[in-house]
A and B are shown apart, each in its own frame.
Chain A
Amino acid sequence: MGLKHTPLFTAHQKLGARLIDFGGWEMPVQYAGIVQEHLAVRQAAGIFDISHMGEVTVNGAAAEAFLNQVLTNDVRKLNPGESQYTLMCNANGGVIDDLYASRLSGEVFLLIINASRIEADVAWLQAQAAQFAGRSDLQLTDASHRYAAVAVQGPRVKEFIDGCIPGAAISAMRTDAVTHLKKNQIGGFAFEGHCVLVSRTGYTGEDGFEIVGTGEAILHVWERVLAAGRPFGIQPCGLGARDTLRTEVCYPLYGHELDEHTTPIEAGLGFFVALDKGEFNGRAALAAQKAGGVKKKLAAFKMSEKSPPPRPHYPVWTDGANRGAVTSGTQSPSLGVGIGLAYVPPAQAKPDTRVDIEIRGRQFGAVVVPKPIYRKA
């Protein structure tokens, strides 16, 4: 059984991408180089293949109530054409996945989930749906194999994206143009005889769009965007740059900052947990943590001396002992210094706290900083 390929695989090969095994998918880790691609996104534009991610549709009169049961954020807040970041928790408040939920129309929802969690999420959702009181008014479909997707991110994207996907939205948020979508809005646009969903969302900390459609449509979007974006400095970007970009703005990555034994409260994502919306999976545990405190807290840090890059699993020393571990870390291409995220005891999670990161048996000084680590001037 070989590695899975997205519909853009041949395009990656043609561009000379360096390919790696990413959770069973053969994906580009870089093209011209991680630092160059990262800086292109910060300064101009970059396009990422995110077709490996999963899509689940949830429809019916009971869809809203069901989603509010299984997700932490309040989907009642979503008007048609609006999206929200949210988490799916187990009974202990542990995270099964972090994801985006969009309401496309009154009773039609789309979930965008992590590639590494498609099987786990779908199994969980199906099990939850089977017990849900309103299940006869609920249709849940794993549409992951049907859809491809790209992320187009960077400050200059808005200068050329309307030319790639022209015209007004025909569904969800009916704006006059792609660039009229506000942050977290999603619209359906006609594109070369297909319909593509475009949301003003992303995982880089820059302005940008994520575009979902069939493989054929997304391949054409990829080519159109690269061609139109060339004069603006667009670069194809791989998973390496995707990781350095999201680490700089402290976005969590499932399997690193989030897992089934870690809660959104510990991860600093309490903003996306609507404790007051009523009952939902994990509510009691999360309410208890919010009231009584947590044993570990996610902190962002910057190396305060020259050091090798901090990396996941490196021990974190605070108050004379090894009390935590790095969950994500890298040399920041934008800042030129080592940065990362780590779980530490809550008392040491305050900005300005000095910690030490153990790298290959030696300790190097770092300091806890507010999130995000990188912000625009």
Chain B
Amino acid sequence: MSNVPGNLKYTKSHEWVRVEGGTAVVGITDHAQHELTDIVFVELPDAGKKIEAGKACAVVESVKTASDIYSPVSGEILETNRAVVDDPALVNREPYDGGWFFKIKLAKPAELESLLTPEEYKAQIKA
């Protein structure tokens, strides 16, 4: 049974968003890390890069596959998480805590409305 914290928003492509004022912290869900299994490499966008919602902006690689990570929201990358670059398995261990990917300055906060609620995401992964 996959962990879906109630204080986050989600995307269909298994990213989560934690809103902190005008900033969004982004990572991949417990369901996603479980599907990927052993994560061996994480490629993050550079700080300062401008991202559009729905566009691929990072890559996560497991032993068998490479998966694109899509930005849930538009904005500028403020900070990336060095810890997952150095220790990719951290994403498997702490998908919602230490395993965050990047922080993005929200350019269009209204985009948050079209993200999935925890209940909607739970329903999607159960299906």
Q: Which residues of A line the B interface, CB within 8 A? A: 18, 29-30, 33-36, 240, 244, 307-309, 311, 330-331, 333, 360
Contact = CB atoms under 8 A, between A and B. Distances in A.
B43 interface: yes
B43 A34 contact: no
Nearest to A244: B63
B41 interface: yes
A308 B62 CA distance: 9
A309 B37 contact: no
| A-side interface mostly | mixed
A308 B61 CA distance: 7
B63 A35 contact: yes
B63 A308 contact: no
B64 A331 contact: no
Nearest to A331: B40
23 contacts: A18-B37, A29-B64, A30-B37, A33-B37, A34-B37, A34-B62, A34-B63, A34-B64, A35-B38, A36-B38, A240-B63, A240-B64, A244-B63, A308-B41, A308-B59, A309-B40, A309-B41, A309-B61, A309-B66, A311-B66, A331-B63, A333-B38, A360-B59
| B-side interface mostly | strand
A308 B38 contact: no
Interface residues of B, number: 11
A309 B66 CA distance: 9
A30 B96 CA distance: 25
B81 to A, nearest CB: 16
Contacts of A240: 63-64
A333 B61 contact: no
Contacts of A29: 64
A30 B35 CA distance: 11
A331 B64 CA distance: 9
A354 B20 CA distance: 46
Contacts of A30: 37
Nearest to B42: A308
Interface in B88-113: none
B66 A308 contact: yes
B91 to A, nearest CB: 14
Nearest to A311: B66
Contacts of B38: 33-36, 333
Contacts of B40: 309, 331
A330 B41 contact: no
A333 B63 contact: yes
Nearest to A34: B63
A136 to B, nearest CB: 49
Interface in B34-52: 37-38, 40-41, 43
A51 to B, nearest CB: 22
Contacts of A307: 41
Nearest to B35: A18
B63 to A, nearest CB: 5
